[in-house]
Amino acid sequence: MARHAARTVAQYALVLFAAITVNFLLPRLAPGDAVDYLLPPEQVGTISADQRAQLLGQFGLDKPATTQFVDYLAGIATGDLLVSVRYGRPVREVLAERVGWTALLVGGSVVLSTVIGAWLGFRSAWSRGTVRDTGTLSGVMVLDSIPPFFLGIVLLVVFSVNLDWFPAFGALPTVDASGLALVTEVLQRLTLPLVTLTASSVGPMYLVARSALVGELQEDYVLMAEAKGLRPSRVRHHAQRNALLPVSTVSLIGLGTLVGGATVVETVFSYPGLGRLIYESVLARDYPVLQGAFLLLIVGVILANLVNDLLYPLLDPRVRRAPRARS
């Protein structure tokens, strides 16, 4: 077990390293001078050659590539991720402010969509072929096909602008509030983005849960459970226990994709999260921030994958390499 874990961690470390390297290379591949990335777009055309050279020196961009790479790695290790062009503050700070909000949004979405999707999916699998199943399937697929930003816009317009039930943007109240009032305000602002993001991520969870359970139901041990005389609910339990495996995997790995969806949703609702930051930085060409955010996302996604890999054996005894077994 320990060896398997060590090997997994090593593999992921490798992937992480590859990702970091790509991250390093990316801006340097795109057309244009390195300095272009460091200055706000307005200033790029106006500085003199001397100023350019000075900037290059300041940021260490006149050194050979390998030295830059080493510096870059060192920077990551110490958490020094350069300075945001747009905000003029360390990238690290900027990221720290936003991460929490995205975590809240994405985290809540993952939990909700997994629970709802699995519940609906299992129910569908049990009543497979009936009208209820086909109806739920179609309904979920329709929901899944609505572009998240479109859904967001419509919800925003209907509930915020027209009905004024929810505030239209931001995550924090404009007026200072604390305690329960703060929580309520935050939740209010969280609701629409959360609903939108969850609605667009229920689909895959539902499909996975449904197909997993349908597959399990055809296994011999389910027939045996019935033949044993167990109650129908108990038989279901047997099958669902095993169907949860792919569900949990998809859920954890889906964290990564969810952040992508969050990018768009946050933009629509002006929600100050990481996704929105990425978008703004792209428009503002704030490449240091982009690199930092990219890096943060990679790390997060790899962590999620790692957790899943380590968690899986706990759920599926077949994958365990317990010393208990004697050949």
Partner 1 sequence: MTEPVAAPTIVELRDVTKRFRRRARDQGRNVVVAVDEVSLSVPAGQVVAIVGESGAGKTTVGHLMLGLHRPDLGSVRFEGCDLAALGRGGLRQARRRMHLVLQDPYQSLHPGMRVEAVVGEPLAIAGTPRAMRRDRVWAALEEVGLTPAGRYAPRFPHQLSGGQRQRVAIARAFACEPRLVIADEPTSMLDASLCAGILELLLGIRTRLGTAFVYITHDLAVARHVSDRLVVMRGGRIVEDGVTDAVLAAPQHAYTRLLLAASEGDLDRVERLEASG
Partner 2 sequence: MTAVDAPALPEARARRARHGRQGLGALGWTGVAMLAVVVLGAVFAPALARHDPDVTSGLPFASPGGSHPLGTDDLGRDLFAQLLFGARVSLFIGVAAAVIAVTVGVTVALIAGYYRGAVETVLMRTVDLMLAFPFIVLVVVFAAFFGRGLFTTIVVIGGVIWARPARVLRAQVIKVREFDHVLAAASMGASGARVISRHVLPRIAPLVAVQFVRAANVAVLIEASLAFLGLGDPGRESWGTTLYFAQARNAFLTDSWAWWVLPPGLGLTMAILGFAFLGYAIEEWADPRLERARVRRRATRRPSPKRPPNPARRQGGDMATAADRTEPLALEVRGLSVHYASADGPVRAVQDVSLSVARTQVVGLVGESGSGKTTLVMGLLGLLRPPGRLRSGTVHLNGRDLGFPRRSEIAAARGRDIALVPQSAMNALNPAYTVLAQVAEAAALTMDGRAATAKARDLLSSVGITADRHRAFPHELSGGMRQRAVIAMALVNDPVVLVADEPVTGLDVVTQARILRLLLEVRERYRIGMLLISHDLPLVARVADELVVMYAGRVVESGPTALITAEPAHPYTRLLLDAFPTLRGPRRALVAIGGEPPDLAHLSRGCSFEPRCPVAVAECPQRLPDLYDQGDGRRAACLLRELRERS
Residues between 4 and 33 that touch partner 1 (CB under 8 A): 4
Answer whether 272's CB lies under 8 Å from 171's CB. yes
> Taking the CA of residue 207 as centre, how many other CA atoms within 13 Å lie in the half-sphere pointing to its CB?
12
Among the listed residues 211, 270, 310, 312, the single contact to partner 2 using CB under 8 A: 211
Least Å distance, CB 184 to partner 2, is 26
Identity of the residue, 54 or 280, whose beta carbon is nearer to partner 2 in the bound complex: 280
Q: Does 104 bind partner 2 (CB under 8 A)?
A: no
* CB of 193 or CB of 275, closer to partner 2: 275
Residue 219 interface partner, choices partner 1, partner 2, none, CB cut-off 5-8 Å depending on type: partner 2
Closest CB to partner 1 among residues 234, 321: 321
Rounded distance, CA 86 to CA 80, Å?
17
Q: Is 86 in the site for partner 1 (CB under 8 A)?
A: no
DSSP assignment of 36-66, as one string? Answer: HHHS-HHHHTT--HHHHHHHHHHTTTTS-HH
58 near partner 2, judged by CB under 8 A: no
Selection from partner 1, partner 2, none that 45 binds (CB < 5 to 8 A by kind) is none
SS3 323: coil
Cα 321 from Cα 327, distance rounded (Å):
12
**Residue 253 binding: pick among partner 1, partner 2, none (C-beta 5-8 Å cut-off by kind):** partner 2
Tell me if 33 contacts partner 2 by CB under 8 A.
no
Site size toward partner 1 (CB under 8 A) is: 6
Binding mask 305-324 for partner 1 (x = CB under 8 A): -------------xx-x---
Whether the CB-CB separation of 102 and 165 falls below 8 Å is answered with no
Q: Which member of 131, 178, 220, 323 binds partner 2 (CB under 8 A)?
A: 220
Find which of partner 1, partner 2, none residue 223 binds, CB within 5 to 8 Å per kind. partner 2
Written as one string, the DSSP assignment of 127-161 is TTTSHHHHHHHHHHHHHHHS-HHHHHHHHIIIIII
- Residue 61: name the closest of 47, 82, 46 by CA: 82
Closer CB to partner 2, 56 or 222, in the complex? 222
Give the pair of three-digit tokens for residue 132: 């209820």
Between 163 and 318, name the residue whose CB sits nearer to partner 1: 318
User: What are 83's strand-pairing partners?
Assistant: 90
- Look at residue 4 and give the partner it binds from partner 2, partner 1, none, a contact being a CB closer than 5 to 8 Å depending on partner kind: partner 1
User: Which of 59-67, 87-95, 111-119, 264-272 is the region at the interface with partner 2 (rule: CB under 8 A)?
Assistant: 264-272
The yes or no reply on residue 186 touching partner 2 (CB under 8 A) is no
**Other C-beta atoms within 10 Å of 104: how many?**
18
Q: Which amino acid is at 207?
A: L
Q: Residue 44, interface with partner 2 (CB under 8 A)?
A: no
The listed partner (partner 1, partner 2, none) that binds 321, CB under 5 to 8 Å by sort, is partner 1
Torsion 175-176-181-186 (CA) sign: positive
When binding is defined by CB under 8 A, the residue of 141, 172, 181, 311 that contacts partner 2 is 141
Task: Determine the 3-state secondary structure of 325 from DSSP.
Answer: coil
DSSP 272-298: -SHHHHHHHHHHHT-HHHHHHHHHHHH
Residue 166 φ/ψ region, left for φ over 0, alpha for ψ in the -120 to 50 degree band, beta for the rest: beta
The interface partner of residue 180, options being partner 2, partner 1, none and the CB cut-off 5 to 8 Å by kind, is none
| Contact positions vs partner 1 (CB under 8 A) | 4, 318-319, 321, 325, 327
